[in-house]
Amino acid sequence: MRRRTLGLLTTTGAATLFASLTLAAPSEAQTTTAAASFIVSESQFNQMFPSRNSFYTYSGLTAALSAYPGFTTTGSDTVQKQEAAAFMANVSHETGGLVYIVEQNTANYPAYCDTGQPYGCPAGNDKYYGRGPIQLSWNTNYKAAGDALGIDLLNNPDLVQNDAAVAWKTGLWYWNTQTGPGTMTPHNAMVNSAGFGETIRSINGTIECNGGNPSQVQSRIDIYTQFAQILGVGTGDNLSC
């Protein structure tokens, strides 16, 4: 896997905790309804990720949608499809096309424990490495995401690599609630017409934007353009950062 560049997942970006939201497991009927209403069909999802790891299921994604009901349901049909393409493009970039579940550089694993936090790293200092579609890392992020989702990820970080719905929920948590090094959440960037480039800034702007790593920015843009075409929508303006 390419070198890890997730500048967003730092202790600074995770300091803000969100109010707990306890989410009941969706029923089969609810999951079916979510899949039917999702702006991306299963066939389009498969077209986007033809070589994906079997862990990243379409049903896991649609089961996670209830956590953030505004995701891909805000604004016009065009805006909804652009947001879906933008999320999928960034996720694809971070995971090599949904191939990787966990961070590949194991040497980094012990680095993601902020021992200065009062709650520490109860699962072990080397247990908060990147996992899932947004490669969630740091004990602070596991704590913040778990608190927001009503899931004890601080004590059970392996859930992100063992439960597809939980993994997708962590990706949606970041997308919908975190600004990272940017000035807005990726969700707000897309629904308020700030453009795809601002999603890059919020995800990894410190390292990639303002000329930091043009090739990585272009990779994200290329994937976004491809996915927008699959969904039959234009890309909009402000693609770069």
Helix boundaries (H) for the chain: 28-37, 42-48, 58-64, 77-95, 139-149, 159-162, 164-177, 186-191, 196-208, 214-231
| Separation between Cα atoms, residue 41 and residue 137, nearest integer Å | 29
Q: Which of 28, 42, 83, 94 is catalytic?
A: 94
**DSSP letter string, 20-80:** ----PPPPHHHHHHHHHHSSS-HHHHHHH-TT--TTS-HHHHHHHGGG-TTTTTSS-HHHH
The question of whether 94 is a catalytic residue gets the answer yes
Asked if 240 and 217 count as a contact pair (C-beta separation under 8 A), the reply is: yes
Q: So which residues are the catalytic ones?
A: 94
